[in-house]
Amino acid sequence: MVATDRRDVIVVGGGIIGCLTAYLLAREGLKVTIIEADSVGSHASGFAFGGLGPLEGAGIPDPLLGFSVWCLERHASLAPELEEASGVDTQFHLRDRLILAFDDSEVRRAKEEIKWQKDIKGFHVEWLDQPDVLKVEPRTNPECLGASYAQGTGAIEAYRYNLAAAQAAEKFGAEFLLRRVTGLLSQGGRCTGVTLETGQLEAGAVVLAVGPWSQQAAGWCGVKLPVSPLKGQVVRLQLTTDPMRASLNYDGSYAASKPDGLIWAGTTEEDAGFDENITTQARDKILGDLLKMAPSLADAELVQQTACLRPISADGLPIVGKVPGWENLYVGTGSGRKGILWSTGMCHGLADLMVKGSTEVPGVDALDPARFSGG
Q: What is the mean pLDDT of the chain?
A: 95
Q: Please state whether the peptide bond connecting residue 259 to the residue before it is cis, i.e. omega within 30 degrees of 0.
A: no
Q: pLDDT tier at 41 (50, 70, 90 boundaries)?
A: confident
> Where are the domain boundaries for CATH 3.50.50.60 in the chain?
7-86+158-226+315-372
Q: How distant, in Å, are the alpha carbons of 74, 82, 235, 243, 343 from that of 167?
A: 19, 9, 28, 31, 17
> Where are the domain boundaries for CATH 3.30.9.10 in the chain?
96-152+229-313
Tell me 233's DSSP state.
Answer: E
Q: Which residues contact 99 (CB under 8 A, 6 or more apart)?
A: 56, 110, 147, 148, 150, 249, 250
Whole-angstrom Cα distance, residue 279 to residue 36?
Answer: 27
pLDDT of residue 119: 96
Instruction: State mean pLDDT over 316-345.
Output: 97
The CATH class of 7-86+158-226+315-372 is alpha beta
pLDDT greater than 80 at residue 84: yes
pLDDT of residue 290: 98
pLDDT of residue 5: 57
pLDDT greater than 70 at residue 375: no
Beta strand 199-208 with 7-12: parallel, antiparallel or unpaired?
Answer: parallel
CATH of 96-152+229-313, picked from 3.40.630.30, 3.30.420.40, 3.30.9.10, 3.20.20.140, is 3.30.9.10
Which of 200, 238, 231, 204 has the alpha carbon at shortest distance from 311? 231
Kindly report, residue by residue over 230-285, the tens digit of the pLDDT. Answer: 999 999 999 888 999 999 999 999 999 999 999 999 999 999 999 999 999 999 99
pLDDT greater than 60 at residue 160: yes
Question: Strand locations in 258-366, DSSP E?
Answer: 262-266, 301-313, 319-322, 329-333
pLDDT greater than 90 at residue 38: no
Whole-angstrom Cα distance, residue 149 to residue 278?
Answer: 32
